[in-house]
Amino acid sequence: MRATIIHAPGDIRVEEVPDPEIRHPTDAIIRTEATCVCGTDLWSYRGIHPVAAPQPIGHEYIGVVEEVGSEVATLRPGQFVIGSFVASDNECEHCRGGYHSACRRRELVTGCQAELVRIPLADGTLVALPEQPGRELYPGLLAVSDVMGTGWYAAVAAEVRPGAVVAVVGDGAVGLCGVIAAKELGAQRIIVMSRNPERQRLALGFGATDLVAERGAAGIAAVRELTAGSGAGSVLECVGTGESLQQALGIVRPGGNIGFVGLPAGVDISGRQLFHSHAGVRGGMAPVRRFLPDLIDRVLGGIIDPGLVFDLVTPLDNVAEAYRAMDARQATKVYLQP
Amino acid sequence: MRATIIHAPGDIRVEEVPDPEIRHPTDAIIRTEATCVCGTDLWSYRGIHPVAAPQPIGHEYIGVVEEVGSEVATLRPGQFVIGSFVASDNECEHCRGGYHSACRRRELVTGCQAELVRIPLADGTLVALPEQPGRELYPGLLAVSDVMGTGWYAAVAAEVRPGAVVAVVGDGAVGLCGVIAAKELGAQRIIVMSRNPERQRLALGFGATDLVAERGAAGIAAVRELTAGSGAGSVLECVGTGESLQQALGIVRPGGNIGFVGLPAGVDISGRQLFHSHAGVRGGMAPVRRFLPDLIDRVLGGIIDPGLVFDLVTPLDNVAEAYRAMDARQATKVYLQP
């Protein structure tokens, strides 16, 4: 099959490799219908994560079951499925508590920018659709497998409730999906921090009510002015830098909540500042599996269309160009057709 | 009147000073029936907080209204009252949201280790009892004004719910009151980290089900073993050091919650660690005013008795001895009779 292999930072290629095989009786092999490039894939591309040897890459996928292991009970070849980037058994106490990304048996799914992928713990990980969806729904369904699920978790972690005043820090694909989530969860006001005209346009289409182009102290002052000095009750922090966390802490209301979904690597939070903010803070790798059935329903029902975050569509063979465009910020998120 | 004045670290005296006066029309003057020494008072006593000039000290009190300012509408002389250490108007949006300690007009109450105290924003700050309580209830009511309210907030911030598995880090007066709160909020299991036999005994009396004497990695391992590897759903962090926060992060379940009520001065929290914990964290100076009516009812009804945290009772004139005993950890909390 053809698969994307990263050889070194900046060196990414589609190559002919052996097809994946069932390794454990709980595995499934799926044939991808669509995949895409994630902001976190750029960590390897940019050399932030070391690339010790050539390796498969990609963790977002929708596809059709090709083969199942002997212990897979709920899936059969031919079914159209969606899964998260974290394989989970959907049975342990952490999964039952809604934290599938902390599953006791979790495994990270990888190698998805390819024609075929092996999915561990298939019964727990994959959600089958009742029937083959129309191709026009593919972008929305693909978004659900990661960025939409992550944006939803940010909103849930920030405890967005009906009538809430919400602020979203970050206008990437996850932040934009966070806007969709806040709107669906009943936010009355959604303030999006963005200075990019195209992303501002998308945010407004998704339900943003206010845009703030300023950053730093000026951005904090602007949000405070918009909220009569109080700050936002729910802040979705969708970047993961020290600056974005400071932004979030600066605009949250006392007693409000911050959901943070970008890994803040190397970032420390001052205990004193967190104490005085009175804010609740919850982050983590999103337990996307928790939200899949609901989000799939919303996409199939035409209620949300997170597929709009894809602003470049290209064949898998052009994967190098896809990475280059995202690295150069010429594309927000690239959809790949295997 | 007689009042406690701290002159320098370690130098604390009861002196004759002028009576306090109404400064603002929203003030009240109360005659203290009881006051006490708080762990945070020791910060000045130990020189952690600088003492630039001799100053009054103490922020816990129960007493009888002596005089009210011209704009005080709901209180009259002779009423028995309890208030928090943060004066608040009980009207602004932060108070209405339950975060009185972030009141837009907040002022810290001080000088309470004295015969008379001026309380700002009296209508918002003070809760009057329907009648004069019996003296046997004074310790419990006094505890409500700070440590019990703070322990309660720790449990609320940690989202203790019926059936919860709770861990309490810190066996001081606040931690012990946190045990009471967890029990009242329906916790099924309450694990208390303590190595002090007297405090262990109190904790068990308040509803603790398990005691863990180990600290650090051994303490984390012990709590994990008690919870079948999962960790506690709610952790009350009642110390405020880097070690205690690490303890809390090490024993919380993915998706669980940490309430932290000790000011972690100079302590940084790793963004990466917080991210991977999937824990919700909320701290801050407790909005005690939110809980006063409910906690007063529980004390008057004999449902809780947080007054048991006082293990030394002494006249106000012996305040220097009270500080010395707490500084030397010979007393958990000292009750002062003006």
Return the residue of B nearest to A262 by Cα: B275
Residue B73 has pLDDT above 90, yes or no: yes
DSSP state of B133: P
Contact list in A for residue B276 (CB cut-off 8 A) is 284-285
Kindly give the interhelix angle for B197-206 and B173-184, rounded to the nearest 10 degrees. Answer: 20
ipTM over 0.90: yes
Q: Is residue B254 a contact partner of residue B279, using CB atoms and an 8 Å limit?
A: yes
- CA of B276 to nearest chain A CA: how many angstroms apart? 5
Q: Could you tell me if A94 lies within 8 Å of chain B, comparing CB atoms?
A: yes
Please count the residue pairs, one from chain A and one from chain B, whose beta carbons lie less than 8 angstroms apart: 123
Residue of A269, A277, A291 to mutate, testing the B interface (most B Cβ within 10 Å of its Cβ): A269
Query: A94, B254: Cβ pair inside 8 Å?
Result: yes
pLDDT at position A17 is: 98
Helix then strand then coil, % of chain A, to nearest 5: 35, 25, 40
Q: Could you tell me if B264 lies within 8 Å of chain A, comparing CB atoms?
A: yes
CA–CA dist B142, A92 (Å, integer): 45
Name the B residues in 168-187 with CB < 8 Å from any A CB: none
Longest Cα–Cα distance in chain B:
60
Residue B7 has pLDDT above 90, yes or no: yes
The b/e string for A43-78 (b: 16+ C-beta within 10 A; e otherwise) is: bbbeeeeebeeeebbbbbbbbebbbbbeebeebeee
Nearest to B48 by CA among B242, B239, B241, B265: B265
- CA of B234 to nearest chain A CA: how many angstroms apart? 13
Nearest to A193 by CA among A265, A245, A261: A245
Q: What is the mean pLDDT of residues A175-190?
A: 98
pLDDT band at B229 (very low <50, low <70, confident <90, very high): very high
Q: What is the mean pLDDT of residues A98-110?
A: 97
CB contact set of B244 (below 8 Å; sequence gap of 6+): B169, B170, B237, B238, B262
Give the SS3 label for residue B89.
coil
Query: B267, A265: Cβ pair inside 8 Å?
Result: no
pLDDT digits (tens, 9 = 90+) for B203-219: 999 999 999 999 999 99
Helix (H) or strand (E) segment spanning residue A161: none
pLDDT at position A271 is: 96
Residue B181 has pLDDT above 90, yes or no: yes
Q: Could you tell me if B102 lies within 8 Å of chain A, comparing CB atoms?
A: yes
Q: Could you tell me if B99 lies within 8 Å of chain A, comparing CB atoms?
A: yes
Q: What is the mean pLDDT of residues A196-205?
A: 97
Q: Could you tell me if B273 lies within 8 Å of chain A, comparing CB atoms?
A: no
Rounded alpha-carbon distances, angstroms, from residue B283 to A118, A158, A302 = 43, 15, 40
Q: Is residue B252 a contact partner of residue B269, using CB atoms and an 8 Å limit?
A: no
Percentage of the residues of chain B whose pLDDT score is greater than 70: 100
- Whether the CA torsion A94, A100, A102, A103 is positive or negative: it is positive
CA–CA dist A154, A167 (Å, integer): 11
Q: Could you tell me if A245 lies within 8 Å of chain B, comparing CB atoms?
A: yes
Side chain identity at residue A327, one-letter code:
D
CA–CA dist B110, A295 (Å, integer): 53
The b/e string for A126-141 (b: 16+ C-beta within 10 A; e otherwise) is: bbbeeeebeeebbbbb
> Which tokens sit at A27?
């595995």
Percentage of the residues of chain A whose pLDDT score is greater than 70: 100
Kindly give the interhelix angle for A173-184 and A147-157, rounded to the nearest 10 degrees. Answer: 50
Q: What is the mean pLDDT of residues B21-30?
A: 98
CB contact set of B293 (below 8 Å; sequence gap of 6+): B127
| Exposed/middle/buried for residue A161 (C-beta within 10 Å: 0-12, 13-18, 19+) | middle
Query: B255, A99: Cβ pair inside 8 Å?
Result: yes
pLDDT at position A265 is: 84
> Looking at chain A, how many residues does it have?
338
Residue B261 has pLDDT above 90, yes or no: yes
Q: Is residue B246 a contact partner of residue B239, using CB atoms and an 8 Å limit?
A: no
DSSP state of A33: E
Question: What does the mean pLDDT of chain A come to?
Answer: 97
Q: Could you tell me if A161 lies within 8 Å of chain B, comparing CB atoms?
A: no
Q: What is the mean pLDDT of residues A241-256?
A: 97
Residue B265 has pLDDT above 90, yes or no: no
Place of tokens 């006249």: B315
CA–CA dist A125, A107 (Å, integer): 10
Specify which residues B337 forms β-bridges with: B315
Query: B272, A266: Cβ pair inside 8 Å?
Result: yes
> Which tokens sit at B251?
């024993």
Return the residue of B nearest to A261 by Cα: B275
pTM over 0.90: yes
Q: What is the mean pLDDT of residues B106-134?
A: 97
State residue B96 phi and psi, 5-degree precision. -60, -30
Question: What does the mean pLDDT of chain B come to?
Answer: 97
CB contact set of A188 (below 8 Å; sequence gap of 6+): A162, A163, A164, A165
pLDDT at position B292 is: 98
Longest Cα–Cα distance in chain A:
60
Q: Could you tell me if B291 lies within 8 Å of chain A, comparing CB atoms?
A: no
CA–CA dist A21, B214 (Å, integer): 47
Contact list in A for residue B254 (CB cut-off 8 A) is 94, 97, 99, 102, 284
pLDDT band at A75 (very low <50, low <70, confident <90, very high): very high
Q: What is the mean pLDDT of residues A200-225?
A: 97
